[in-house]
Amino acid sequence: MGGLFGALNNSLEALRAFQTSLGVAQNNVSNVSTPGYARQIATLEADAFNLAAGRIGGVHSGPILSTQNEYANQAVRAQLEMQGNFGAQSSAVTSIESLFDASGQTGIIGELNRLFQSFSAWATTPSSTATQQAVLDSAQAVANSFQSTASSLSSITSNLNQQVRSTVAQINSIASDIQNDNAEISKNGATDAGLDARLHASLASLSQLVDTTVTFDPIGTVTVLLGGQIPLVIGTHQYSLQASFADPVPGPNPNAPAHAHVLDADGQDVTSKIAQGSLGGLLTVRNSVLPSLQGDSNQQGSLNQLAKQVADRVNQILTSAVTLGGLAGSPLFAYNASSPVIVAASLTLDPNITLAKLAPAQTGPPAVGNGAALTLSNLGNSTAPADQIAGQTILQFLSTIAAHVGQQASDAHSGQDLHTQLLSQARTIQDQFSGVSLDAEAVQVLELQKGYQAAAKMVSVIDSLTTTLINMVT
């Protein structure tokens, strides 16, 4: 009887082992689409077989193993960082690119071309009221276009500021989730597949927002450093970031928009440590691309340079000329000169200009009745040093702005496409290590069911033998 009861016990243990393995397989199938989940493997361990010692063998459940592969996971996180960076840049720069139409049909480029054309028509018939009015209308359109572009850049700046705030808040929220997971792991251990999946999903989400360095401690908790240096989560401690939009050292230009800054938990500026993720992309556009156009506390910005050069040279040429009535010419444009970064935003027609005050005549020598108007018509392509900006003609300088923004947009689009492809490849490799295959799990279930059925059959046989033996004894 002792042998039968031992065999029965072994068979029951085998049933429990196969049942546990079937439960693990079912859990794998149920979590096939769960972010961060890695396939679990239920192991079976053999019992010792030694008849002399009364050990008749058998099988019992071993530890449940996770297929998480941190090398593959890190490769995925690295591509998420790059994709997030270029994706944020692509979205932000595309909105800027639309302001500078390289075709020359709309925007500032189109309005400046039409202004120079109106000067040319005025030079042909300087006394014509129609051509004079066309000059004023075109000049007004140029001023409106500069104002509109400056306003749009300001709106983009405000929008990016909000996105930076929102992204920093998301980073803090995810870091808080990781801190909570670390606390649970510290308390209960890292054996729960659901907790493991949640932690790895959080790490992946965080990587899309900012570049991080991730290390796992022996007990399973994770340390997360921003930029490889700035602590976000260490064990059960979280270190929050904050966004700031105040330059610590003001520059010489008043009324200039401040840069976006990210401060660590101690209030130290760590903006320079952030290179990747969507936060890195937002900061690149916010602190590099936009200031080069609209200016900041230390630079005027190319849009303001252009507006000032156009206004100043047009005004200089007109005020050095005379009207058809022999009077000194009046300026065509006006702007707020209190700060170099608000020229474009404040550019308007001079409030005192009228048709009669337009001065087409060059005073000479020699005096030319339409000389000033002719000079103005060629201003956009003039290579005279006084007409150039940084060694370029006015229209070349404007085309360079459009080309530079277009190149940045193209680079961002290309980077996003490239790292989307690399991310797909990295995830394929990750799936090879830890992904759940429904086909493989189906085969595993069939094998386990056969083992379960064999163990159940063994129990049935032992039960029958036991009944027979008892009947024989009684």
pLDDT at 45 (0 to 100)? 78
Question: Which residue, 409, 389, 346, 9, is CA-closest to 144?
Answer: 346
The reported pLDDT for the residue numbered 2 is 46
Strand, coil or helix: 369: coil
Question: How far is CA 140 from each of CA 311, 341, 351, rounded to the nearest angstrom?
Answer: 12, 20, 11
pTM above 0.85? yes
Instruction: Look at residue 1 in the predicted model and tell me its pLDDT.
Output: 44
- What is the predicted pLDDT for the residue at 33? 86
Of residues 93, 157, 161, 154, the one with CA closest to residue 345: 154
Q: In one letter, which amino acid is 60?
A: H
Residue positions counted in the chain? 474
Q: What are the residues whose beta carbons fall under 8 Å from the beta carbon of 205, sequence distance 6 or more?
A: 174
Tell me if the bond preceding 365 is cis, omega within 30° of 0. yes
> Look-up: residue for tokens 């979280």?
238
Contact yes or no for 19/452 (Cβ under 8 A): yes
Structure-block tokens of residue 159? 């929008």
**What is the per-residue pLDDT for 364?**
67
- Give the DSSP H or E segment for 445: helix 438-473
Give the Å distances, CA to CA, from 222 to 182, 241, 264. Answer: 7, 18, 19
Measured CA to CA, the distance from residue 270 to residue 225 in angstroms comes to 12
Q: Are 140 and 349 in contact (CB under 8 A)?
A: yes
pLDDT of residue 458: 67
Q: State the Rg of the chain over Cα.
A: 37
Residue located via tokens 């390289």: 102
238 forms beta bridges with 233
The answer to whether the beta carbons of residues 429 and 75 sit under 8 Å apart is yes
pLDDT at 308: 97
Do 265 and 172 touch, CB atoms closer than 8 A?
A: no
Q: What is the pLDDT of residue 344?
A: 97
pLDDT in tens, the chain (474 residues): 446 666 666 767 777 877 877 888 888 888 888 889 888 888 887 776 655 555 566 677 778 888 889 999 999 999 999 999 999 999 999 999 989 877 767 889 999 999 999 999 999 999 999 999 999 999 999 999 999 999 999 999 999 999 999 999 999 999 999 999 999 999 887 678 889 999 999 999 999 999 999 999 988 899 999 988 999 999 999 999 999 998 877 778 877 889 999 999 999 999 999 999 999 999 999 999 999 999 998 999 999 999 999 999 999 999 999 998 889 999 999 999 999 999 999 999 999 999 999 999 887 666 567 999 999 999 999 999 999 999 999 999 999 999 999 999 999 999 999 999 999 999 999 999 988 888 887 877 777 677 767 667 766 776 676 677 667 776
DSSP character at residue 379 = G
Helix or strand holding residue 20 (H, E): helix 2-30
Closest of 59, 66, 68, 58 to residue 42, by C-alpha:
66
> Measuring CA to CA, which residue among 40, 8, 13 is closest to residue 25?
40
The residues facing 328 across adjacent strands are: 322
pLDDT of residue 465: 66
Spatial separation of the C-alpha atoms in residues 358 and 416, rounded to whole Å:
52
pLDDT value at position 472?
75
CA distances in angstroms from 305 to 311, 312, 390, 433, listed in the order given: 10, 10, 10, 56
The Cα–Cα gap between 271 and 356 comes to 55
Q: What is the pLDDT of residue 190?
A: 66
Nearest of 106, 167, 108 to residue 142 by alpha carbon = 108
Residue 258: CB atoms within 10 A of its CB come to: 18
